[in-house]
Amino acid sequence: DLCPVSVDPSGRVFYGIMFDAGSTGTRIHIYKFIQKDPVELPVLDNEMYHAVKPGLSAYKDNPEEGGNTIRQLLRIAKKTVPEDEWRRTPVVLKATAGLRLLPEDKASALLKEVRDVFDESPFFVPNNSVSIMNGANEGVLAWVTVNFLTGHLYSNTRRTVGILDLGGGSTQITFLPKSRKTVQSAPPTYIARFNMFNHTYQLYTHSYLGNGLYAARLATLGALGADGLDWKIFTSSCLPKKFREDVTFGGTTYKVSGFDCLPCYKLCYYEVMKVIKGIVHQPYEVKGSSIFYAFSYYFDRAVESGLIDSSRGGAVEVRDFKKRAKEVCNKMTKYRAISPFLCMDMTYITCLLKEGFGFKDNTVLQLAKKVNNVETSWALGATFDYFRNLNIH
């Protein structure tokens, strides 16, 4: 399809609307760009961001209701984009783990509903504007976002940063390998090549479906794919002992409870280990000194557990997650008010980083929700991809 934006070298303003239909929420990103020079990267002027919960997959049996969440977010787009730009502003939705995990007919019904809502909007609806994104693109596009925002795509040093994204349903790791051994020892599907502005990048990237934070909670409890959901109670040493509640993920509800286990951390670590061991590939290189940006639920849990300040973010070592996980699990009542799942989540994150990816205790992670006031998410990279066609293969 034709891109409706005619690029004018005198510095034209254009907008792009990207919806992130995640497993735990739907988010709209409205970007305003200024194209100062037709061969350079456009300048990102600002982003308008808004999120709603739950995600589309929660409406698997009622797609019209799901469509209403999109309508609601499009109202913000109409307020943000000037009216005379509406018809050439593309509106795109990409769904991630939530829809990947649904049966195909349920997912298609939701996507069709979104497409109808887009069609009745005043914005430009490109072909294929509503889809489920594949995991490799999710990782690569988040890498593009973070390296763009940190200035690494502009500089000629070829230095870049890796990214760690922890969603509700899936988790991604992506970085530019320095050593040939990383590429040679990786499963072939974990290597993605793409071109961007005279540069060819070869990245290590993988999305683990079912290893997002919320899916991992259910897997730890043994509830993922289990039957008898209306009468079974799933227990875990990662939960406070008197805790008993119904939890909902992807439109399905489970009964969960904790049990007596002092100290709980060790038992909990053993439980979450089963969700990670033998599943997550350890790239050769993470033992080295590369810089990784960690965002999404890595950031949220670091804030909740008091590791970092929510407005400033900051650098932590892998061992800080471990230390705090131990503390939260062994003093569960103290942290219960913050979240009864904090012990499980912190232990899972620690285990994923150490036993899964193989990071060392002293690896430094840069935790960020925003860089230069823009959300760290694949959505910006996906918007570039739309306008520029990165050609990932």
Ligand X SMILES: O=c1ccn([C@@H]2O[C@H](COP(=O)(O)OP(=O)(O)O)[C@@H](O)[C@H]2O)c(=O)[nH]1
Least distance (Å) between residue 215 CB and ligand X: 8
Distance from the first to the final alpha carbon of the chain: 20
Whichever of 301 and 322 has its CB closer to ligand X, that residue is: 301
Contact 377, 146 (CB under 8 A): no
For residue 131, which of 144, 118, 145 has the smallest C-alpha distance? 118
Q: Is 170 annotated as a binding residue?
A: yes
Least distance (Å) between residue 378 CB and ligand X: 8
What is the C-alpha to C-alpha distance for residues 12 and 274, in angstroms, rounded to an integer? 53
Binding site for ligand X (CB under 6 A): 20, 22-25, 27, 55, 96-98, 167-170, 212, 296-297, 300, 369, 375, 377, 379
Q: Is 169 annotated as a binding residue?
A: yes
Strand order in the sheet with 130-132: 43-52, 26-35, 12-21, 91-95, 130-132
DSSP letter (8 states) at residue 356: I
Least distance (Å) between residue 224 CB and ligand X: 14
Q: Is 171 annotated as a binding residue?
A: yes
**In 162-268, which ranges are E strands?**
162-166, 170-175, 191-196, 199-209, 233-236, 244-249, 252-258
Contact 321, 353 (CB under 8 A): yes
3-class DSSP state for residue 280?
coil
Catalytic residues: 138
Whichever of 22 and 90 has its CB closer to ligand X, that residue is: 22
Least distance (Å) between residue 309 CB and ligand X: 16
What is the C-alpha to C-alpha distance for residues 325 and 49, in angstroms, rounded to an integer? 31
What is the C-alpha to C-alpha distance for residues 155 and 9, in angstroms, rounded to an integer? 22
**Residue 4 region, left (φ>0) first, then alpha (ψ -120 to 50), else beta?**
alpha
Whichever of 241 and 369 has its CB closer to ligand X, that residue is: 369
Least distance (Å) between residue 7 CB and ligand X: 26
Whichever of 168 and 283 has its CB closer to ligand X, that residue is: 168
Nearest to ligand X by Cβ — which residue? 22
Whichever of 27 and 32 has its CB closer to ligand X, that residue is: 27
Q: Is 168 annotated as a binding residue?
A: yes
CA distances from 102 to 51, 61, 243, 253 (A): 21, 11, 29, 15
Annotated binding site: 168-172
Annotated binding site for ATP: 168-172
